Homo-oligomer: A and B are copies of this chain.
Amino acid sequence: MKRAEWIWYPDDFEIELSGRFMAERYERDIVIPPFWRMDSCYKNVKFRKVFELANAETVKIDAEGVFNVMIDGAYLYSVKTAFEVPAGKHEILVSVFNDKGLPCLKLSGDEVVTDDTWQVTCCDHVFKNAACDEDFLNGKTPNNFSLPSEKRKWVEKIPSEKGDIYDFGEEMFGRAVFSGAKLSEGARVYYGESLEEVGDREHCELLSEDFVAKPSAESAAGKPVGGEATENEVTTKIAKAFRYVTTEGIEFSEIYVDEEISPSVCRSSFECDDPVINEIYKVAVRTMQLCSREFILDGIKRDRWLWGADVYQSSLMHYYSFFDAKSIKRSMIALFGKSPFSLYINHIMDYTFLWIICFDDYYRHSGDEKFARENCYKAFEMMEHCLGRRDGNGLMDSRPEDWVFVDWADLDNSGEVCCEQMLLVAAIKRCVMLSEEFGYKDKAERYRAIYEETAAKLERFWLGDKKGYTYSMRNGKPDGKILMHPNIFAVLFDLCDEERKQIIKENVLENPEIPKIVTPYMRFYELAALCRIGETKYVMKEMVNYWGAMIKEGATTFWERYDPKETGAEKYAMYGRKYGKSLCHAWGATPLYIIGRYIVGLKASDNAKSFTLQPDLAGLKRFKVEMPLAKGTVKVEADEKTVKVLSDEIKGTLIVNGKSYVVEPKKETEVAL
């Protein structure tokens, strides 16, 4: 018997689920929906497929929404849970309408089963391939989806004046469950990422006030419960991020957590002679695992939204650790929303360019041609939107309604900000590649011309006398400010020649008089740029200093921001709130990318059909790693004498001391240093 899958209009599951997920962001009892426009699924869709059946069969039908069934253009009456399909060749067409969620369908017959060979239309004359992901749904229905969960017990009960505090041992994402629960009026659960936070009931970021009866194995969703719950097990309605829990107005015989399990499985390992770096790697893995959920999130406690730049950085970390392609795709789909594209991703100009770069990167790392071909129109729509907003100089100017972000720092982002032009150049280069590859000749020509023209305009920002790119141009004049940001991007996105990169390195990146980068977000780019110009030893030292220190502070996951000068509860404050900082933040997992890309030196090539490997001990004595590839993994062992490489499935090239060696799959390659 074939496997029947829930099917839906492409992208619509991600659009609905991301809306639901992001609107579960709370600040104490205040819901904080995103501040950008959110799209909806198409509510009126039709699914179809032609079958040729040797025998008549009975087909079970499940749908979320009202539905009707047509066979060969004729409606079937009285279809409630099943219908008959006669033998022979027949077109089955099922209409589903749902104005309260995603219209979706599951047909389970012997031969007639729904899967991605079906087509679907939103009634716009165009049929597309239906989408499905039964593995991800894992027994849930599309509109009642939640990640699978596992029971987790507390590890320590800490008495406090206001009530016991339960420590679950490490940061996690889940629902508190109470056995034998009796809820009083005003029943609340308080959460903390830190002991300080959970104990401060007036200021902790997260709490729960809504409870439901814990769903049985059979029922999908819990029923709301009143003050006098008689149900045996009661659970909080919305899953939250925390390590510690305490309660108010709840009597219970037992408390535990249903921890939601990330769908991303780590496919990498790293072990070297420096125990601090080994520990950093482990904590980075846990950090990225927690942030990789329904979508790749920014931070799991406070923000839990999708952001273009965070998904971009996280995807780069993923390629060297989890490589959860589906998670990256879900996130990109949700960020784009519905065509036509008409607002910057998250309202932010730079994040839109980064989506395009992320999309192209995904293709180069995964070799997922089907996804790239079907979705490249999104990159083009975004690019057209951006190009349509250039000023008279053909550059991206800051309009009042646009958010030019660059970095979470005190920056004057008026005028033609150099970083934005650089991202435009980097992104349109990807559009040239995509349009050439997928046969959009006119677009390719157009994009190439704009790419060349705009790349040439970057020279206006280069100040020869100051030996750096100026931050912004206003009224045709450079502001004369040499800051790290555009100079990092110039190196990272290869926007200048090697000679100039060295000038930038000496005069900007390593110049103590240039203001330091302070956000982990921009540090990601900075460290990567430093690695690009050979400063891997320095970067490794920085990693030990910064990430190592967080571990010393007791971090079980990496933080949104870390300042060694902050002590006590002060270190949890951010955004003007006592516990506003997230202690599990995706960009905290930066070491995954730095180690994979620049220490292991792994890079996908030829659309993931091959790879190059250029290991760099960077001060270590040895390392032993396994890294995911688009297919299989590659194992690398390096010490000061030799490098050994073994790839399961994909051929590659090992580069040692400037010399290249072919790596054949399933054959260990060893090269002496």
Residue numbers of A with Cβ under 8 A of B are 16, 19-20, 23, 27-38, 40-44, 46, 66-68, 75-79, 95, 97, 99-101, 122-125, 340, 342-343, 347, 401
Partner of A123 from B37, B41, B97, B122 at Cβ < 8 Å:
B37
Q: Check A401/B125 contact, CB under 8 A, given A43-B38, A99-B40.
A: yes
Q: Are A31 and B100 in contact (CB-based, < 8 A)?
A: no
Chain A: interface secondary structure?
loop
Q: Are B23 and A97 in contact (CB-based, < 8 A)?
A: yes
| Residue ID in chain B nearest A40 by CB atoms | B40
Q: Check A30/B77 contact, CB under 8 A, given A19-B43, A42-B38, A100-B100.
A: yes
In the bound assembly, the distance between CA atoms of A99 and B125 in angstroms comes to 26
Q: Are A37 and B30 in contact (CB-based, < 8 A)?
A: no
Q: 8 A-B Cβ contacts within 8 A?
A: A19-B43, A19-B44, A29-B77, A30-B68, A30-B76, A31-B68, A37-B42, A125-B343
Q: Are B97 and A33 in contact (CB-based, < 8 A)?
A: yes
Q: Are B342 and A32 in contact (CB-based, < 8 A)?
A: no
**Residues in B whose Cβ lies below 8 Å from that of A38:** 42-44, 97, 123
| Residue ID in chain B nearest A34 by CB atoms | B44
Q: Are B31 and A97 in contact (CB-based, < 8 A)?
A: yes
**Residues in B whose Cβ lies below 8 Å from that of A77:** 28-30
Q: Are B33 and A66 in contact (CB-based, < 8 A)?
A: yes
20 more CB-based (< 8 A) A-B contacts, given A31-B67, A100-B100, A125-B347 = A19-B43, A19-B44, A23-B97, A23-B99, A29-B77, A29-B78, A30-B79, A31-B97, A33-B44, A33-B66, A33-B97, A34-B123, A37-B42, A38-B43, A38-B44, A38-B97, A40-B43, A100-B101, A125-B343, A340-B342
The smallest C-beta distance from A66 to any residue of chain B, in angstroms, reads 4
**Residues in B whose Cβ lies below 8 Å from that of A42:** 37-38
In the bound assembly, the distance between CA atoms of A571 and B548 in angstroms comes to 86
**Residues in B whose Cβ lies below 8 Å from that of A46:** 35
In the bound assembly, the distance between CA atoms of A35 and B93 in angstroms comes to 12
Chain A to chain B: the 7 pairs with minimum beta-carbon distance, closest first: A33-B97, A40-B40, A125-B401, A38-B44, A100-B100, A31-B66, A37-B123
| Residue ID in chain B nearest A347 by CB atoms | B125
Q: Check A99/B16 contact, CB under 8 A, given A37-B44, A342-B124.
A: yes
| Residue ID in chain B nearest A344 by CB atoms | B125
| Residue ID in chain B nearest A339 by CB atoms | B342
The smallest C-beta distance from A303 to any residue of chain B, in angstroms, reads 15
In the bound assembly, the distance between CA atoms of A641 and B42 in angstroms comes to 62
In the bound assembly, the distance between CA atoms of A611 and B243 in angstroms comes to 75
In the bound assembly, the distance between CA atoms of A37 and B95 in angstroms comes to 12
In the bound assembly, the distance between CA atoms of A7 and B308 in angstroms comes to 32
| Residue ID in chain B nearest A66 by CB atoms | B31
**Residues in B whose Cβ lies below 8 Å from that of A34:** 44, 123
In the bound assembly, the distance between CA atoms of A75 and B44 in angstroms comes to 37
In the bound assembly, the distance between CA atoms of A210 and B34 in angstroms comes to 38
**Residues in B whose Cβ lies below 8 Å from that of A40:** 40-41, 43, 99
**Residues in B whose Cβ lies below 8 Å from that of A95:** 32-33
In the bound assembly, the distance between CA atoms of A32 and B44 in angstroms comes to 11
| Residue ID in chain B nearest A98 by CB atoms | B23
In the bound assembly, the distance between CA atoms of A68 and B46 in angstroms comes to 37
In the bound assembly, the distance between CA atoms of A78 and B29 in angstroms comes to 6
| Residue ID in chain B nearest A97 by CB atoms | B33
The smallest C-beta distance from A351 to any residue of chain B, in angstroms, reads 15
In the bound assembly, the distance between CA atoms of A78 and B27 in angstroms comes to 11
Q: Are A68 and B123 in contact (CB-based, < 8 A)?
A: no
**Residues in B whose Cβ lies below 8 Å from that of A122:** 37
| Residue ID in chain B nearest A41 by CB atoms | B40
In the bound assembly, the distance between CA atoms of A43 and B101 in angstroms comes to 12
Q: Are A19 and B401 in contact (CB-based, < 8 A)?
A: no
In the bound assembly, the distance between CA atoms of A34 and B97 in angstroms comes to 9
| Residue ID in chain B nearest A70 by CB atoms | B30
Q: Are B78 and A123 in contact (CB-based, < 8 A)?
A: no
The smallest C-beta distance from A343 to any residue of chain B, in angstroms, reads 6
In the bound assembly, the distance between CA atoms of A97 and B78 in angstroms comes to 37
**Residues in B whose Cβ lies below 8 Å from that of A20:** 99
In the bound assembly, the distance between CA atoms of A28 and B95 in angstroms comes to 16
Q: Are B43 and A123 in contact (CB-based, < 8 A)?
A: no
Q: Are B68 and A32 in contact (CB-based, < 8 A)?
A: yes
**Residues in B whose Cβ lies below 8 Å from that of A76:** 30
**Residues in B whose Cβ lies below 8 Å from that of A44:** 19, 23, 33-34, 36-38
| Residue ID in chain B nearest A400 by CB atoms | B125
**Residues in B whose Cβ lies below 8 Å from that of A29:** 77-78
Q: Are B75 and A35 in contact (CB-based, < 8 A)?
A: no
**Residues in B whose Cβ lies below 8 Å from that of A41:** 40
In the bound assembly, the distance between CA atoms of A32 and B70 in angstroms comes to 11
Q: Check A124/B43 contact, CB under 8 A, given A75-B30, A99-B16.
A: no
In the bound assembly, the distance between CA atoms of A545 and B668 in angstroms comes to 95
The smallest C-beta distance from A209 to any residue of chain B, in angstroms, reads 9
The smallest C-beta distance from A247 to any residue of chain B, in angstroms, reads 18
**Residues in B whose Cβ lies below 8 Å from that of A99:** 16, 19-20, 23, 40, 101
The smallest C-beta distance from A91 to any residue of chain B, in angstroms, reads 16
**Residues in B whose Cβ lies below 8 Å from that of A340:** 340, 342
Partner of A35 from B16, B36, B78, B123 at Cβ < 8 Å:
B123
**Residues in B whose Cβ lies below 8 Å from that of A78:** 29
In the bound assembly, the distance between CA atoms of A373 and B123 in angstroms comes to 30
In the bound assembly, the distance between CA atoms of A29 and B76 in angstroms comes to 10
In the bound assembly, the distance between CA atoms of A673 and B66 in angstroms comes to 62
In the bound assembly, the distance between CA atoms of A41 and B28 in angstroms comes to 28
Q: Check A36/B66 contact, CB under 8 A, given A19-B99, A77-B28.
A: no
